[in-house]
Amino acid sequence: MVTTPTHPAHPLGLALHHIDHGYAIGGTDTPVLDDISLTIAPGEFVALLGPSGCGKSTLLRLIAGLEPPRAGTILAEGTPITGPGPDRIVMFQDPTLYPWRTVRGNVALGHDIAGRKDPASVDAAIELVGLKGFERAWPHQLSGGMAQRAALARALVNDPRLLILDEPLGKLDSLTRLTMQTELQRLWRDRGFTAIMVTHDVEEALLLATRIIVFSPRPARIIGDLPIDLPPHRHRDDPRLLDLRKNILTQLGHSADW
Amino acid sequence: MTASNTLAPGLNTGTPAGQAAAQAGARPRRPLLPWAAGPAWFLAALVTWRWPDADDFPDTNLLAALFAAIGLGLLATAALRRLSARAPWAIALGLGFTVWEVAQAKLLWLPRPFFGTPQDLLDVFLTDWKRLGDSLLHSLGLLAVGYGIGAVLGVAIGVGLGRSPRFRYWVRPLIRLVGPLPPVALLPLAFVLIPSGRLASEALLALAAGFPTTILTWSGVAAVDPAYYDVARTMGARNRFLVLRVALPAAMPQIFVGLFMGLGVSFATLVVAEMLGVKSGLGFYMQWAQGWAAYPNMYAALLVMSLMCTGLVSLLFKVRDRVLSWQKDGLKW
């Protein structure tokens, strides 16, 4: 792989205070988040684990600033988040590439929005995720893994201080997923951003994260907060990981299922 | 033989005949069909020239010469091997002109003056080309202004309907009231309210083009995946970017359907407006020709109008294919 261009690391720290949120679904009000308080130190890689549909993705939308919480405050370095900003970039479960833009055009999206011209950084991001040679391809010509790589490059080109990952590897086949996990971790180490990732995959969380937050079923409350004090290069068969995995599955109520 | 077997295993039937066919298929074929196109037109020329006309028709010899020239051109095209796909059509047209010439100019099977001869049609183009061309330009000018305004307004109103609840609240009832009305129905009113007939026609054309464009733009913008907005918003995009660089390109396939439908309604409105209002253009020419029972002139105007309409539709599809080159499969016009 290419050498990663070095960027001055300014990872973002976050503080969430008593976040409540909910949605009106079919006329009835459904609470989604219940009194979430959480502090994330700059440079952490936090995995959010919880049952499907518990509200983890909603929490990410709030942190991204895509919608305001009903109650509570989210502070980024002490300043309340009032809207989206290019220092906090979201990567969604679907690549959501614009079909009318080439790979290159999609990766350059952040620059276009900011009205900035920096073709070199676009090329660097494309090369970084291994899509060199596909700059002029249309999204419909890409495989699922390649499309998600393009989405990753589109996020990285903004030099995010916080990368918000909403189950970005959830729809990939298992082999592509393994490769992407390794690359995500490498990027996080090299670039030095803070990362928050929603995942359903306990193993993925254990491999990548420095800390795992476990959520209850909806409305989501924090029921576990585990630091993973292991070196970045982890092996999937590490007995310490297996212990942690058992611990987490018990917290999620699946002690008998593995 | 072994080489041919490995190259074309599927064609090898094992029989000598099958092997011969496989070998013949391997060589580039020289189709004979393109060479028949020229002679078909020579036949039309010969019939026109030698067979005496049933009446005193103009330009018979000139028409024969024209047929012969087309035949020569087709022979040259065949020699250059540029005719292969179009050869059947070229032959059919040559034979068709021959049949028309025989049926009408030589035997007068169909009643005059409603049915003309090929030489009548040629004569109209030779003697009246100036007025036909002038009418064409008038029609095109009217269309360009009316359709252009309608298309731009339609896209703008459609985006407004798709993006802004307040705009939708006020404009949607108006669209529902006026939009489905055939623009032609407003014609008498328009000519009373708007003093200039040309201006009134342009307004009606704008309405004709604007309604389908509005509705399909709206439906296209409303169907944009909300995640597309989220992606841009998380990078700090403002409303202007979301409308112009996300909603519009995402809705573009639908917008072109609306533009296409609007073009069709515009053609219909154009002809009626020209007949009743502006007193110029191809629609007016046709009405004038009918008034004088000059049916060949009407056929000529119809032909010109048909070429104009199909040309404009082709132009729209050209633009569409270019703008939507990112789409997986394009419709071929």
Res B92 pLDDT > 90: yes
Q: Tens digits of per-residue pLDDT, A200-239?
A: 888 888 888 889 988 888 888 888 888 888 777 777 777 7
Q: Does A150 contact chain B (CB < 8 Å)?
A: no
Decide if A92 and B231 are in contact by the 8 Å CB cutoff.
yes
Higher pLDDT, B129 or B333: B129
Return d(Cα B162, Cα B215) in angstroms, integer. Answer: 10
Return d(Cα B205, Cα A157) in angstroms, integer. Answer: 47
Q: Does A65 contact chain B (CB < 8 Å)?
A: yes
Q: Tens digits of per-residue pLDDT, B161-194?
A: 999 999 999 999 999 998 889 998 988 888 888 8
A79 falls within a domain: yes
Q: Does A217 contact chain B (CB < 8 Å)?
A: no
Res A105 pLDDT > 90: yes
A231-236: which pairs have CB atoms within 8 A and are 24 or more residues apart?
A: A232/A185, A232/A189, A234/A206, A234/A207, A236/A203, A236/A207
pLDDT of residue B331: 62
Return d(Cα B243, Cα B234) in angstroms, integer. Answer: 15
Smallest Cβ–Cβ distance between B236 and the set A86, A94, A98 belongs to A86
A100, A102, A158: best to mutate for the B interface, most B CBs within 10 A = A100
Q: Tens digits of per-residue pLDDT, B208-252?
A: 999 999 999 999 999 999 999 999 999 989 999 999 999 999 999
Q: Are A19 and A59 in contact (CB under 8 A)?
A: yes
Q: Tens digits of per-residue pLDDT, A106-116?
A: 999 999 998 88
pLDDT of residue B246: 95
Q: Tens digits of per-residue pLDDT, A31-64?
A: 888 888 888 888 889 999 888 777 888 888 889 8
Cα angle A19-A21-A26, degrees, rounded to a multiple of 5: 170
Residues of B in contact with A90 (CB under 8 A): 230-231, 234
Higher pLDDT, B217 or B28: B217
Q: Which helix (H) or strand (E) holds A165?
A: strand A162-166
* Token pair recorded at residue B8: 């074309």
What integer is the mean pLDDT of B119-141? 90
Q: Are B149 and B204 in contact (CB under 8 A)?
A: no
pLDDT of residue B10: 39
Smallest Cβ–Cβ distance between A100 and the set B235, B241, B249 belongs to B249
Return d(Cα B231, Cα A92) in angstroms, integer. Answer: 8
Closest approach of B163 to chain A, Cα-based (Å): 17
pLDDT of residue B112: 78
- Maximum Cα–Cα distance for chain B, whole Å? 85
Distances in Å between the Cα of B305 and the Cα atoms of A83, A222, B127, B290, B309 are 56, 72, 18, 15, 6
A133 falls within a domain: no
Decide if A100 and B252 are in contact by the 8 Å CB cutoff.
yes
pLDDT of residue B329: 64
Decide if A96 and B231 are in contact by the 8 Å CB cutoff.
yes
pLDDT of residue A255: 63
A60 falls within a domain: yes
ipTM of the complex: 0.86
- At B294, is the pLDDT very low, low, confident or very high (cuts 50, 70, 90)? confident
Smallest Cβ–Cβ distance between B227 and the set A64, A94, A109 belongs to A94
Q: Are A11 and A191 in contact (CB under 8 A)?
A: no
Smallest Cβ–Cβ distance between B235 and the set A94, A109, A140 belongs to A109
Q: Does A258 contact chain B (CB < 8 Å)?
A: no
Strands A211-215 and A222-227: antiparallel
DSSP three-state, residue A238 = coil
Return d(Cα A226, Cα A48) in angstroms, integer. Answer: 11
- At B264, is the pLDDT very low, low, confident or very high (cuts 50, 70, 90)? very high
- Which among B137, B170, B185 has a CA at the least distance from the CA of B304? B137
Smallest Cβ–Cβ distance between B235 and the set A86, A92, A100 belongs to A86
* Rg of chain A over all Cα atoms, to the nearest angstrom: 18
SS (H, E, C) chain B: CHHHHHHCHHHCCCCHHHHHHHHHHHCCCCCCCHHHHHHHHHHHHHHHHHCCCCCCCCCHHHHHHHHHHHHHHHHHHHHCCCCHHHHHHHHHHHHHHHHHHHHHHHCCCCCCCCCCCHHHHHHHHHHHHHHHHHHHHHHHHHHHHHHHHHHHHHHHHHHHHHHCHHHHHHHHHHHHHHCCCCHHHHHHHHHHHCCCHHHHHHHHHHHHHHHHHHHHHHHHHHCCCHHHHHHHHHCCCCHHHHHHHHHHHHHHHHHHHHHHHHHHHHHHHHHHHHHHHHCCHHHHHHHHHHHCCCHHHHHHHHHHHHHHHHHHHHHHHHHHHHHCCCCCCCCCC
pLDDT of residue B89: 92
Return d(Cα B42, Cα B54) in angstroms, integer. Answer: 21
Q: Burial level of B108, CB count in 10 A (0-12/13-18/19+)? A: middle
Strands A28-40 and A79-80: unpaired
Return d(Cα A242, Cα B5) in angstroms, integer. Answer: 60
Fold entry, domain B127-323: MetI-like fold (1.10.3720)
Closest approach of B255 to chain A, Cα-based (Å): 14
Res B2 pLDDT > 80: no
pLDDT of residue A174: 83
pLDDT of residue B228: 94
Residue count of chain B: 333
Delimiting residues of CATH 1.10.3720.10 domain(s) in chain B: 127-323
Residues of B in contact with A112 (CB under 8 A): 241, 245
Q: Are A62 and A69 in contact (CB under 8 A)?
A: yes
Return d(Cα B188, Cα B169) in angstroms, integer. Answer: 30
Return d(Cα B158, Cα B153) in angstroms, integer. Answer: 8
Q: Is A232 left (phi over 0), alpha (psi -120 to 50) or beta?
A: alpha
Residues of A in contact with B328 (CB under 8 A): 140
Dihedral through CA B242, CA B245, CA B246, CA B248, nearest 10? 110
What integer is the mean pLDDT of B262-291? 89
Q: Give the chain A residue whose CA is nearest to the CA of B328.
A: A140
DSSP three-state, residue A194 = strand
- Maximum Cα–Cα distance for chain A, whole Å? 55
- At B18, is the pLDDT very low, low, confident or very high (cuts 50, 70, 90)? very low
Residues of B in contact with A89 (CB under 8 A): 234-235
pLDDT of residue B28: 61
Q: Give the range among A53-57, A81-85, A93-97, B328-332 with minimum mean pLDDT.
A: B328-332
What integer is the mean pLDDT of B58-85? 90
Q: What are the φ/ψ torsions at residue B153 (nearest 5 degrees)?
A: -65, -40
A62 falls within a domain: yes
pLDDT of residue A56: 83
Return d(Cα B324, Cα A120) in angstroms, integer. Answer: 27
pLDDT of residue B100: 92
Q: What is the mean pLDDT of chain B?
A: 86
Higher pLDDT, A51 or A120: A120
Closest approach of A86 to chain B, Cα-based (Å): 4
A92, A98, A101: best to mutate for the B interface, most B CBs within 10 A = A98
Strands A79-80 and A14-25: unpaired
Q: Give the range among A83-92, A106-115, A188-197, B28-37 with minimum mean pLDDT.
A: B28-37
Across-strand partners of A28?
A: A25
- At B7, is the pLDDT very low, low, confident or very high (cuts 50, 70, 90)? very low
- At A96, is the pLDDT very low, low, confident or very high (cuts 50, 70, 90)? very high
Q: Burial level of A166, CB count in 10 A (0-12/13-18/19+)? A: buried
Q: Are B218 and B205 in contact (CB under 8 A)?
A: no
Counting Cα atoms < 13 Å in the Cβ hemisphere of B245 gives 20
pLDDT of residue A201: 84
Residues of A in contact with B326 (CB under 8 A): 99-102, 138, 140
B235, B238, B245, B328: best to mutate for the A interface, most A CBs within 10 A = B235
Q: Omega before A11 cis (within 30°)?
A: no
Return d(Cα B250, Cα A99) in angstroms, integer. Answer: 8
Residues of A in contact with B230 (CB under 8 A): 66, 90, 92, 96
Res A7 pLDDT > 60: no
A175 falls within a domain: yes
Decide if A66 and B234 are in contact by the 8 Å CB cutoff.
yes
pLDDT of residue A29: 83
What integer is the mean pLDDT of A144-164? 90
Decide if A113 and B230 are in contact by the 8 Å CB cutoff.
no
How many domains is chain A built from? 1
SS (H, E, C) A41-61: CCCCEEEEECCCCCCHHHHHH
What integer is the mean pLDDT of A13-29? 84
